[in-house]
Structure 1
Amino acid sequence: MSISNESLYLRSNYAKYAAKFVPFAPETFKAFSEFNKLALQDGALSGKFKELIAIAVAHATGCPYCIDIHVTTGHKLQLTKEEIFEAIAVSALVKGYSAFYHGVNALNALRDDRDDELYSRSNLTGIEQFEPINEQLYTSVLEFRRNVLAGQVVSSLEKALIAVAIAHITGCAYSIEDFTVLAQQEGAAIEEIAETILVATALKAGSALAHRVNAYSAFIREDENNS
């Protein structure tokens, strides 16, 4: 198969370039590698479930290297296509819900008496203001949430934890509030919440780090063009 040299994402490039920057910051790369290993190892949550969280987070960050690596690892740990798809659906839901929740801020911006406070916990109930504007659309968003978060192959507790991870990727205060409360209601322990957040942290940072492959490729190509 011929591949255009214009491609910015090649699976083979990761193996080819991933280690190239390491000699220039060895201690920092080592520290991240150790953190990543710790974040994904067995703890309050199993390493297998953490890989499922990692897959969901990789779809939230959109990093193709992370998706490839963690789906491959998850497959080795015997995660099924059904589990992976349900995790991806939670990722899609929470990313979408973060935008949906910010609609409250849009409605507040239209008010003549709007407050100086842009984020308030009480704003969460304001989402119901969308119902009379377009009941069918509002109801369909709520139905999507119910369908995605319902326990199926992946349990409702596990889905709530995945939602917490994605909420930390979106950085939406409303989503963090909502899905953390949901996870607690589903029976999540504080240790499980903590480990979930650390997996999200590792994957969000790992996404940026994985893209060093592109940076190295661009750097050496420019060097070659100038030589």
Structure 2
Amino acid sequence: MSITQNEDSLYLRSNYAKYAGKFVPYAPETFKAFSEFNKLAMQEGSLSARFKELIAIAVAHATGCPYCIDIHVTTGHKLQLTKEELFEAIAVSALVKGYSAFYHGINTLNALQENPRDELYSRSSLPLLEQFENINEQLYTSLLEFRHQVLQGQRVSRKEKAIIAVAISHITDCPYSIEFSTQLAKEEGATIAEIAETVLVATALKAGSALAHRINTYSAFVREDEKSQ
């Protein structure tokens, strides 16, 4: 039997509406609790609801969840987020996710030592990254320039970009990224209340990404049963 394009596809926009509620009857209180948490995390507070959607979109690009991207970009469009703002937020997401990998180069340099340090993460280790400049100055400089360009204030301000960076650093789980982005956000004038709300938006999106993939789980579980009907 030949497989149609829809049967072969693991992601269809229409699948969200088709399958999103299927698991709810099996854990109604838990689904309700998450829905309430998500609503609270995204509501107006120290950060505007509009800016929280921009953070959510950036985070969705870091998690790579297509359902999350679709839902939050649609919501952001209703809140009149522009393509320019979206692209700048996506660029911050790309920067922090990529820079987290770059920061882990410190662990690479440590592993290459004759007597590697037992401590794998320390603020004092950050200058070790400069060793990469001697290895490939052009590549090293281009990374620094990329960071400089992305974090410049344009349609999205420097402060807002720094706050978005805090959110993405909580997706990458890189302590160096968390350290850098939090300090940068503070320098740009972010308050502790704004940072707290940012962490909660990141949490909602990271958990929401896992939850959104229940669509694939349910589809995989019932596929053969549906074919036999």
Q: TM-score range by the shorter chain?
A: over 0.9
Deviations 1:94-123 (A, max 9, x none): 000000000011011111132111111111
Deviations 1:43-72 (A, max 9, x none): 000000000000000000000000000000
Match of 1:83 among 82, 85, 96: 85
Does structure 1 residue 70 correspond to structure 2 residue 67?
no
Q: Larger deviation: 121-130 or 101-110?
A: 121-130
Deviations 1:3-50 (A, max 9, x none): 431001000000011001001000000000000000000000000000
Q: Distance in 1 between matches of 2:54 and 2:146?
A: 21
Q: Larger deviation: 125-134 or 21-30?
A: 125-134
Matched residue count: 226
The 3-state SS of whatever aligns with 1:132 is helix
Q: Distance in 2 between matches of 1:25 and 1:165?
A: 29
Q: Distance in 1 between matches of 2:20 and 2:168?
A: 26
Aligned to 1:47: 49
Aligned to 2:38: 36
Q: Distance in 2 between matches of 1:156 and 1:173?
A: 21
Does structure 1 residue 211 correspond to structure 2 residue 213?
yes
Deviations 1:108-166 (A, max 9, x none): 11111321111111111211111111110000000000000010100000000000000
TM-score (norm 2): 0.96
Question: Which stretches in structure 1 are left out of the alignment for 5+ residues?
Answer: none
The residue type paired with residue 221 of structure 1 is R
Q: CA RMSD in A?
A: 1.2
Aligned to 1:162: 164
Aligned to 1:183: 185
The residue type paired with residue 51 of structure 2 is F
The residue type paired with residue 70 of structure 2 is D
Question: Which stretches in structure 2 are left out of the alignment for 5+ residues?
Answer: none
By how many angstroms is 1:226 displaced?
7.1
The 3-state SS of whatever aligns with 1:4 is helix
TM-score (norm 1): 0.97
Q: Distance in 1 between matches of 2:198 and 2:166?
A: 7
1:134-145 maps to which residues of 2 (within 5 A)? 134-145=136-147
The residue type paired with residue 29 of structure 2 is E
The 3-state SS of whatever aligns with 1:164 is helix
Tell me the percent identity: 78
The residue type paired with residue 69 of structure 2 is I
Q: Distance in 2 between matches of 1:193 and 1:145?
A: 21
Q: Distance in 1 between matches of 2:165 and 2:12?
A: 30
Aligned to 1:114: 116
